[in-house]
Amino acid sequence: MTATPTNTQRPRPPVPIDGKTLRSVCGLFVTGVTVITSGGGERAAGTTVNSFTSVSLDPPLVLFCLHQASRLRALVEESGAYTVNFLAGRQEPLAWAFAGRHTATLQDVEHRYSAVGVPVLSQAMAFLSCRLVNAFEGGDHTIFVGEVAELGVPRADTEPLIFFRGSMGSLEDEPRGPHPMFDS
């Protein structure tokens, strides 16, 4: 016998999702803050990213996403490598310095080069230096998957920098005010 769907079981017609609302809802998911670095020499660059996740332990794969118009996209593709630099709570100014279209240069920040030839920020809490394995188009972003070739945790005793409700801060910070869209 087949059950007849009730009003609560019938699928609703799709409703267009507003990008601003989607961003606000996704902002309720706490993420870490990273600076992705790539390239070499005078062409080395970095950008602030919170769309990072581990994918696999065997092989050791991680991914992050960049907007199609990102200035770092071509460098990652050309060099075939990148570093994910995990920022500490006290590094919010560094995150903002690499967040805009016209950002800090790597020459302004203490760094070294990894085994795969891409920059590692010397003051990062931890890092994963990766060889690019694949790139996938994902709407207005590119999803970069890399195999971890080198890693380190030079500052394991520090709190991470986090992103929540459109703001950055450390875990030690006082909670920020209510979100205007959801807490009325």
pTM across the whole model:
0.80
Nearest CA among 127, 102, 121 for reference residue 52: 127
Please tell me the distance from the alpha carbon of residue 19 to that of residue 158, in angstroms, as a whole number: 34
Average confidence score pLDDT of the chain: 83
Lowest mean pLDDT among 35-44, 53-62, 73-82, 151-160: 151-160
Q: Could you tell me the CA-to-CA distances from 73 to 13, 63, 80 in Å, in that order?
A: 36, 14, 11
CA dihedral 7, 11, 13, 15 (to 10 degrees): 110
Predicted confidence (pLDDT) per residue in 43-54, tens digit: 899 999 888 989
